[in-house]
Structure 1
Amino acid sequence: MSQSFALAGVESNSPSPSCDCLAHRFGNAADRPDRTPCYVSDMTDAEWQVVRAVLPVPAWLEGRGGRPEGFCHRQMIDAVRYVVDNGVKWANLPTDFPPYRRVHAFARRWQVTGLLAELHDRLRDRVRQKEGRTVDPSAAIVDSQSLRAAANIPRSTSGWDGGKKVGGRKRHLAVDCLGLVLVVLVTAASVQDRDAAVPLLERLRKLYFSVRLVWADGGYAGRLVDWAAEKLQLTLDIVKRSDTTTGFVVLPRRWVVERTLSWLMRSRRLVRDVETLPAMHEAMVLWSMTMLMSGRLAGRRRGGFSRPEPRAR
């Protein structure tokens, strides 16, 4: 795991630019004009200070190869957040952002190299600490959500969910008791929850050995409970809905992951699956959660920037 920007321990002899991102301080972006944040998805200065402190250091800054980045990290992250929040095509990015091909390459590179997951996990750790919890979770909740797929989605990675009557893909989540994402897995909608839970729980066990208890709904009942206990040493507790219950009822523990699924639906990029690669959809989930967590750490209210007062006539 690479060190964060705050711990990089690298100093630059060049004049201090107006932006303190990595690309401006140590890369090739110091001569580029500053961009004024103007969209709701843009980070406020308080959010940027939160994100900047936990930014993973790219390989080129640690002497592990690669070319120094030529675009401001804050602008690039704001551009990706714009796509996630508004659901636009990469080619439809506003012109005040860097070129969309460079932004897409940035998002793809961060997904492949694990830098996005590193940023996401560091923000989650800080939120847990702020809420008075330990960094390592001891319990998780799992659930899934089916989404309609766009026309560009390959048939090999999409399917039909007969229960929800949805054709497309399904995202499977494991979240902690605060509703923060621990693991995300995207499959075809035809994949049953019990089948997808096997790689989901294996990944959860590999990344978070401290987790011992997992809550789930009745769709995960059956042989999966014994398999999780025997192979992964996980206690899978099935929270069932009562047969006499009618209408909407908040079920213990399960409401936490259902709330997280509703959080994700606030990001228009996640309302419908338009990503050709399932891994890129998983990355979009992480980007959406980084927006939520950075705003929470910075004390930002939903709705973004305050509107300027009208001029007196």
Structure 2
Amino acid sequence: MYPTSSITDAQWVILAPLLPPPGNTTGRGGRPEKHPRRLILDAIFYLVRGGIAWAVLPREFPPQQTVYGLFGSWARHGVWQQIHDALRDLVGLHQGRDPLPTAAIIDSQSVRAADTVARTTRGYDAGKKVNGHKRHIAVDTNGLLLAVVVTVAGIQDRDAAHRLLTQLRARFSTISLVWADGGYAGRLIIWACKVLALTVEVVKRTDDVKGFAVLPRRWVVERTFAWISKHRRCVRDYETLPTHHEVMVHISMIMTMSRHLARTGDW
């Protein structure tokens, strides 16, 4: 129905096996699901791509309570991240890459909060002049998402990186090297080395270059932010819960990766 968000047949072949079984088919009882999973996913993808509110989903989709109910249930149980991680491994395998990365790139992006976000849960990034949240991500050398942490925008990158790198280490024991920009220099490098056995290498901008310049390694994570920002629900922060913001980032990457696999036939 909607070219930029609707799931194609090729996408559905990829996504369907990654979805958890309905409750009534796992011996736990419960009524059969009333609406097709594909149609509910279409509604969620439409919302993430278009940046609309849950209450104004078009009538051709299931009721917004049903759509949001599945979104929230899967968010609580980590299903979205499981789907994302399975797709990321699939993309890596079909690109001839080892699914276990040995290096990563980290960076952050401040996002202005909408009026739906409580003032008590947001912060002010004085450098970017943004009042809202900041998402901190780690990607592999191909730009695929490895970890994401959402904080108030006022937190310093090097402070939030403690949580990000801890999450990265917990999920990937194979990573030994992390590239970052100058905002992560200082005590973080020593802490990461001693506590997490991670070498954080700062990629600095040369003083003789003026204006925009493509920096080694750092351009990869900037491209990932561009992929995420193609989805309007991620351009501005509408989520009342930081965990839901993280889920929106995962869904945007699910859409990106599944479309890539379906388009190239690498599945």
Compute the TM-score of the two structures, normalised by the length of structure 2.
Answer: 0.95
Name the aligned partner's letter for residue 244 of structure 2: M
Shift of 1:188: 0.6
What's the counterpart of residue 294 of structure 1?
258
Shift of 1:61: 3.1
CA–CA distance in structure 1, aligned partners of residues 116 and 209 of structure 2: 41
CA–CA distance in structure 2, aligned partners of residues 76 and 177 of structure 1: 33
What's the counterpart of residue 126 of structure 2?
162
Q: Indicate conservation of the 8 Å contact 2:111/2:153, yes or no.
A: yes
Whichever structure has more helix as a proportion of its residues is: 2
The structure, 1 or 2, with the larger RCO (C-alpha pairs under 8 Å, 6+ apart) is 2
Q: Indicate conservation of the 8 Å contact 1:56/1:118, yes or no.
A: no
Q: Indicate conservation of the 8 Å contact 1:153/1:275, yes or no.
A: yes
CA–CA distance in structure 1, aligned partners of residues 222 and 156 of structure 2: 18
Equivalent of 2:196, from 218, 232, 239? 232
What's the counterpart of residue 87 of structure 1?
51
- Sequence identity percentage: 52
SS of residue paired to 1:299: helix
Q: Indicate conservation of the 8 Å contact 1:159/1:188, yes or no.
A: yes
Q: Indicate conservation of the 8 Å contact 2:22/2:33, yes or no.
A: no
Shift of 1:55: 2.3
Q: Indicate conservation of the 8 Å contact 2:228/2:253, yes or no.
A: yes
Q: 1:38/1:165 Cα in 2 relative to 1: closer, same or farther (>3 Å)?
A: closer
Structure having the higher Rg: 1
> Per-residue CA shift, 1:250-276, capped at 9, x if unaligned?
000000000101111110101110111
Equivalent positions of 1:145-294 (< 5 A) are: 145-294=109-258
Unaligned stretches of 5+ residues in structure 2: none
Shift of 1:62: 2.8
Shift of 1:123: 0.5
Equivalent of 2:102, from 132, 138, 151? 138
CA–CA distance in structure 1, aligned partners of residues 114 and 165 of structure 2: 28
1:111 pairs with 2:111: no
> Per-residue CA shift, 1:268-297, capped at 9, x if unaligned?
101110111111011000000000000010
Name the aligned partner's letter for residue 236 of structure 2: R
1:124 pairs with 2:96: no
Aligned length: 265
Shift of 1:151: 1.2
What's the counterpart of residue 62 of structure 1?
26
Name the aligned partner's letter for residue 48 of structure 1: W
Q: 1:66/1:188 Cα in 2 relative to 1: closer, same or farther (>3 Å)?
A: farther
Name the aligned partner's letter for residue 166 of structure 1: V
Compute the TM-score of the two structures, normalised by the length of structure 1.
Answer: 0.82
What's the counterpart of residue 11 of structure 1?
none
Q: Indicate conservation of the 8 Å contact 2:231/2:252, yes or no.
A: yes
Q: Indicate conservation of the 8 Å contact 1:137/1:210, yes or no.
A: yes
Q: Indicate conservation of the 8 Å contact 1:56/1:119, yes or no.
A: no
Equivalent of 2:63, from 81, 84, 99? 99
Equivalent of 1:48, from 2, 12, 15? 12
SS of residue paired to 2:110: strand
User: Runs in 1 of length 4+ with deviation above 2 angstroms?
Assistant: 37-40, 53-70
> Per-residue CA shift, 1:76-107, capped at 9, x if unaligned?
11110000000011011111110011101111
CA–CA distance in structure 2, aligned partners of residues 299 and 146 of structure 1: 31
Name the aligned partner's letter for residue 226 of structure 2: S
> Per-residue CA shift, 1:184-224, capped at 9, x if unaligned?
11111001000100011101111111111111000000010
SS of residue paired to 1:296: helix
CA–CA distance in structure 1, aligned partners of residues 37 and 239 of structure 2: 23
CA–CA distance in structure 1, aligned partners of residues 127 and 4 of structure 2: 36
